[in-house]
Amino acid sequence: MKSLTLLIRAELEIPDDWELVDHPSGMRVLKIGEHFVDFDIAPLTTKSASPDAEWSDAETATVGKVLDAVVGIDAELELQTLH
């Protein structure tokens, strides 16, 4: 068995009315209107070796295998005001 560490960093430019809040579950999440948003990984697959291949999560068996292999995940949200 091997261990794979995956680091995903994304930067979003968001409207001023979106905010970071502490959800009652103890997580720091994004609040958009009445919706709380957390981030997770979404494995995508393709059978094509083409440079313009289409990737999707439609292959649920393979995506499920990848998600079943996840033993820990953490999302850290930081809000910075742009001037």
CA dihedral 18, 21, 23, 26 (to 10 degrees): 140
pLDDT in tens, 23-79: 999 999 999 999 999 998 999 999 999 999 999 999 999 999 999 999 999 888 998
How far, in Å, CA of 79 to CA of 72, rounded?
Answer: 24
How far, in Å, CA of 45 to CA of 38, rounded?
Answer: 22
Determine the Cα angle at 27 with ends 63 and 16, to 5°. 95
Taking the model in full, what pTM does it have? Answer: 0.73
